[in-house]
Every structure is written in structure tokens, then in C-alpha cells.
Structure 1
Amino acid sequence: MTWVPSPAGVLAFDRPAPGAPTFRCTVNMGPDPVELPRPGDILLASGPVEGNAGTVVLPPDTTVWWSLPH
């Protein structure tokens, strides 16, 4: 597991999966939505996530699991 630098109130880490692409977990633990760079494709999200090809807006109390490019 590798911690990823992130804004205040956001927890992010990468985890390599043996024989599979690395994934990232990003959690917004703060009270406000946070705009972040999109690191890859969304695998699973605990709530609605909006954005475009380059960024996403992560609502409060929301977690996203990403598939990272090789």
C-alpha cells in the first residue's frame, strides 16, 4: 500500500493487486465536495461522482475505487 498526497480531509492510497492492475482508493472525509484529478476509471463508488475526462468532484462522505492505467 502506498499513500497518495491529497487535499485536507481526503485520504488516498494505491494498492497493487498481484496479476491485476493497481487500484486507488480515495475517500472524502471532509464536509465539502472536493475536486480532484481523475486517476483512472471508476470501479466502484459509494455515492454519485460527477466530473469530466480530467477531474471529478467527490462529495463528502464518499469513497471511490479506481482502476489505474498501467
Structure 2
Amino acid sequence: MRVSVDQDKCCGAGTCVLVAPDVFDQREDDGIVVLLDGEPAEPLHDAVREAASVCPAAAIQVGEDA
């Protein structure tokens, strides 16, 4: 799995951090998403998919490995 974020789309809601704190964080000054792990381990995949699906700004992209 490969994960990317679009910081320009991010609205700073923070739901990604709540769902997958090992993969996402937020900048202190404005709450914009920070990607901590662009290739998370398999045990985190479900949480990352959930974070992407609940992101109100659709700022998280998930690519599945073949």
C-alpha cells in the first residue's frame, strides 16, 4: 500500500489522525495533515483505508499494491 496526501486539499479536521495515528499527524500551526508513513505495514491498512474514506476533504489517496 502506498499513501499520499494533498496538503492543499486538507481542511485540518484531524479525523485521519484519530483513525490512524501511526500514519498521519497534523502540523502544530494550522492542523494540516502530515504523512508519517507513506508505505504502512499491513496491520495498518484497514485504518488507513478508513481514514481516507472519512476524510471530509478527500485529501488522502491510497494505492493498493498489485
Name the TM-score class by shorter chain: 0.3 to 0.5
Q: Which structure dedicates a bigger proportion of its chain to helix?
A: 2
What TM-score results when the alignment is normalised by the length of structure 1? 0.31
Select the structure that is richer in strand. 1
Higher relative contact order (CA 8 A, sep 6+): 2
